[in-house]
Structure 1
Amino acid sequence: MPSGGSSSATSSWAPEPLTATYRERTATSGDLRLAYQEWGPDDGPVILALHGFGVSGHMFDEFGQRAADRFRLINLDQRGHGDSEWSPDGDYTREAFVADVEAVREELGLERFILMGHSMGGLNAVEYTFQHPERVSALVLVDVGPEAAKEGVDNIMRFTRGPDELDFDEFVQNAMRFNTRRTEENIRERMRHRLRPLENGKWTWKFDKRFREGEGAVRSGSQLSSDELWRRFRELAPPVLLIRGEQSDILSQEVAERTAGEIRNARLVVVPGAGHSVPGDNPDGFTDAITGFLADLDEGAFPEPDATPIPIPEDIEELRSGWRERERRFPGVPLIAGIAVGLAAVAATVAFVFSRFRRGRSGEA
């Protein structure tokens, strides 16, 4: 596995070549070695990026070329993808991906960081943020929401589960048909990171071949229901930037708007001329969306939510114990007891909210 080297790539979108370089590194999670590409200065604000299914951290190369002067970028090859090792027991559950992120964070000594995730990586980022909210200062979700359009998912599955061994040029031609927004030069560069050579002279995908063997070959995804996944998004604590590709066949505009609307501190940006693979389809628009969001965050555009707890009446436990005593003496009253305690809590909440409203009104006057 590569470690400690330096590589560079140029973008076909910029009027002049971009010369930022990355360092190839490795970290460990349990017995697995995980590869990642590191861009930018060691003391810059950290963005840890999680790619989508079937690709690698290199999907953020164009962003790295544009943002390495301002940020320290850690673009992880998630388990079973890119140059990271495959899971011996086929564990690609969301819990396993989240554990990997936490292991990398611990090894690199990151206290708080900006977390970014695309598609599958976005769902992993949401779950990590749910489990470790104190670690994530801001969350960037790229073309992912609680719901995905079936047609777009089927398109990705057809592309990644097509012929497994081909000449390199055949893979390039298939990729150009799959995504017509890219130049051939860019496709060739991307496929160089997604494929590995075989002894017979053919090439094949780098990601774990068991993903292509059908249902049951690996353990993947999450046991969360649709409602539970929506709840995960709603309960996100840090400020969230949701980026949608204007031509995405995965994240509909309707779902994107609903998702951003139900998150407490969220901004939705639609990047023109981009499909599902926003970072490479329109790297300038993608970079502008992120840097603008983070600049506004630094200027206080996303204030911390009011953490003042709702007061609970001091005698609430006395009420509960009194009703428990009555229940022992007069069976059949637990429902009435619950209603009484509930009404007491509701009354306290209403009084608190009203007092906050009155203070706010008097402050405006």
Structure 2
Amino acid sequence: MRMELNPATRTSYTAADGLSLAVDLRHASGRPTLLFAHGFGQTRGAWNTAAATMAAQGCRCVTFDSRGHGESDRMPGGEYHMQQFVDDLIGLARAQPEPPILVGASMGGLLGLVVAGEIRPAPFRALVLIDITPRWETSGVERILAFMQAHPDGFASYAEAAEQIAAYLPQRRERKSEQQLRPLLREGADGRLRWHWDPALLAGELIGESERYQPRLLAAAAKVEVPVLLLSGERSDVVSHRTVDEFMTLVPHARHAEVPGATHMLAGDANDAFTAQIAGFIASLESVDADEAIEQPATRC
């Protein structure tokens, strides 16, 4: 078994409405702070390799399960709305010892854009967006949702689940083991294994009417003032040259890098290239901070 060099400390965060969110912390005394926000249908486990790598480079890394996902609480009655997730992210950011750099994949990135564009002062030091733009390619999102909706009755075994994931992500060389799948599946009273997310997430307006959020997302993007890095996958079917060009017009100070061979599941497809881009972005931020400190006039005691 491969040992993680920077194991996580399990903790939690209580949201404004009382729900408890599962949180992992690596390198509690490190800096800068990186707050990782996963995509729809994922868990904080999606960031394990990236968070451990960045913690080894000196960063304080915080990962969490969004409400209705993984080990976080589910909404009583199954009523999920975008603002709940926005408020959770604001609260988590403000709970950190310093404004964090938000690393957001897909849904996590969209939430980060809303927060950075609408809240003043922004609770983030900077944004790293992982294969997401305020306007997306509908066909790619529909493919993701089709996979999430395909097995409402679950799986008879971990091997069956691994086979379905392998078919959905053929670019991945290694099939997931039972140990890797355990955090992603829950065993029901009938003995069947079902995905970790609340089925109500797929039934409500959060997904069914997601495109109605685009005007808000586009308006928020145009107001983002913090440094931004957009990473897209060369083979992504969610982000395209068209959506990237629009985003760069809205956020002209942003940087964009395309990761060769990667799909929408960029962090898992090309993890070394992904973390190298983040490390380079952080180094550039620190360089700017150092230059600004040098330019400040000396104070006299």
Range of TM-score over shorter length = 0.7 to 0.9
Partner residue in 2 for 1:341: none
* Aligned-residue offset at 1:18: 5.2
Corresponding position: 1:110 with 2:100: no
Counterpart amino acid of residue 254 in structure 1 = R
Looking at structure 1, the residues matched to 206 and 4 of structure 2 have their Cα atoms a distance apart, in angstroms, of 41
Residue of 173, 195, 210 corresponding to 2:163: 173
Residue of 89, 101, 106 corresponding to 1:101: 89
Residue of 12, 19, 23 corresponding to 1:26: 12
Counterpart amino acid of residue 149 in structure 1 = E
Looking at structure 2, the residues matched to 162 and 255 of structure 1 have their Cα atoms a distance apart, in angstroms, of 28
For the 8 Å contact 1:210–1:218, the answer to whether it is kept is: no
In structure 1, runs of 5+ residues without a counterpart are 1-8, 11-16, 305-365
Corresponding position: 1:204 with 2:204: no
Q: State the SS of the aligned residue for 2:101.
A: strand
Partner residue in 2 for 1:321: none
Corresponding position: 1:130 with 2:117: yes
Partner residue in 2 for 1:142: 130
* Aligned-residue offset at 1:258: 2.8
For the 8 Å contact 1:242–1:260, the answer to whether it is kept is: no
Looking at structure 2, the residues matched to 299 and 97 of structure 1 have their Cα atoms a distance apart, in angstroms, of 32
Residue of 62, 78, 83 corresponding to 2:71: 83
Corresponding position: 1:61 with 2:48: yes
Structure-1-length-normalised TM-score: 0.72
Residue of 215, 238, 244 corresponding to 1:250: 238
For the 8 Å contact 1:28–1:104, the answer to whether it is kept is: no
Residue of 248, 260, 267 corresponding to 1:279: 267
* Aligned-residue offset at 1:90: 2.8
Over the aligned positions, Cα root-mean-square deviation in angstroms equals 2.5
Q: Which has the higher contact order (CA 8 A, sep 6+)?
A: 2
When residues 261 and 218 of structure 1 are mapped into structure 2, their CA distance, relative to the original with a 3 A threshold, is closer
Partner residue in 2 for 1:192: 182
Looking at structure 2, the residues matched to 148 and 188 of structure 1 have their Cα atoms a distance apart, in angstroms, of 33
* Aligned-residue offset at 1:42: 2.4
Counterpart amino acid of residue 20 in structure 1 = N
Range moving further from structure 2, 196-205 or 112-121: 196-205
Structure-2-length-normalised TM-score: 0.86
Looking at structure 2, the residues matched to 218 and 140 of structure 1 have their Cα atoms a distance apart, in angstroms, of 23
For the 8 Å contact 1:210–1:217, the answer to whether it is kept is: no
When residues 183 and 22 of structure 1 are mapped into structure 2, their CA distance, relative to the original with a 3 A threshold, is farther
Counterpart amino acid of residue 13 in structure 2 = A
Number of residue equivalences: 287
* Aligned-residue offset at 1:102: 2.4
Looking at structure 1, the residues matched to 206 and 215 of structure 2 have their Cα atoms a distance apart, in angstroms, of 27
Looking at structure 2, the residues matched to 249 and 187 of structure 1 have their Cα atoms a distance apart, in angstroms, of 27
Counterpart amino acid of residue 143 in structure 1 = D
Looking at structure 2, the residues matched to 53 and 157 of structure 1 have their Cα atoms a distance apart, in angstroms, of 9
* Aligned-residue offset at 1:188: 5.1
Rg: which structure is higher?
1
When residues 269 and 21 of structure 1 are mapped into structure 2, their CA distance, relative to the original with a 3 A threshold, is same
Percentage identity across paired residues of the two chains = 28
